[in-house]
Amino acid sequence: MVYVILASFRTDYEIFKYALPFSKNTIIPVEWTMGNYREIFDKFQFATPLKNTFIVVGILVPINLLISSLAGYAFAFFNFKGKKLLFSIFIVSFMVPIDSIALPLYSFIASLGLVDSYWALILPSVSSGLAMFLFTQFFRSLPESLLEAARIDGASLIQVFIKIVLPLSVPVIITAGLMIFVTEWNNYLWPLLVTRSPDVRTIQVALAYFKDEHETFWSFIYAASSISAVVPVLLFLPLQKYFVQGVTSSGLKG
């Protein structure tokens, strides 16, 4: 990570000039430059995939959290026919790699006419088995007497969910939100399959276009990669306390 960030402030010529033999100049730039960052935004229009990625995760994270928390609420506090089987299916779902379902999923999205649109990036990820599992496990740790008291006082199921369950679930909401954000931010294969035009291309796919037939612009790749890595880190650092609380509180109860 240190090498990538430092290399983003040097030219391709300098990167290769000091590559061998290994010395301090292999890591530390001799002549610092911000030109790489200017070039990726001016020449390669890097602001577009950056904006697209923010739009996708900005829509996906709240929708996914809503669906996953409602599912967790149902699995934790209600008994219904097929509950264990359905819960097992959801658990298995997040163990299935996207590679194994990419082609049939692409065929389905293509049949809806959604290829090369934001919806192609959003719809397949509106729910998460892992997030649902985290919410279910956390909700099971809440005392049922608290919910029963609210129901006796006349609160509806939705009111109990919104006014009691969710306010107590801040750690797991942040944990699940961070997981969804990082997963979608780093998603490469699916956006590569369903985006064709630069107008909807996401940041990870855009990184693959910093090269042409005869040349790879390593300094540009380092600059774009630094931006791609810094955003999740800046989001995670102030929320890491809640992240740890959410993982420990939702992962220990069987």
pLDDT tens-digit series, residues 64-116: 999 999 999 999 988 889 899 999 888 888 888 888 889 999 999 999 999 99
Closest to 246 measured CA to CA, from 168, 184, 152: 168
Closest to 173 measured CA to CA, from 43, 28, 53, 65: 65
Provide the mean pLDDT of the chain.
88
Domains in the chain with CATH codes = 50-217+246-251 (1.10.3720.10)
Closest to 129 measured CA to CA, from 57, 58, 183: 183
Residue 246 pLDDT grade (very low, low, confident, very high; cuts 50, 70, 90):
low
CA distances from 47 to 84, 164, 199 (A): 46, 41, 10
The number of helices, as runs of H, and strands, as runs of E, in the chain is 16, 0
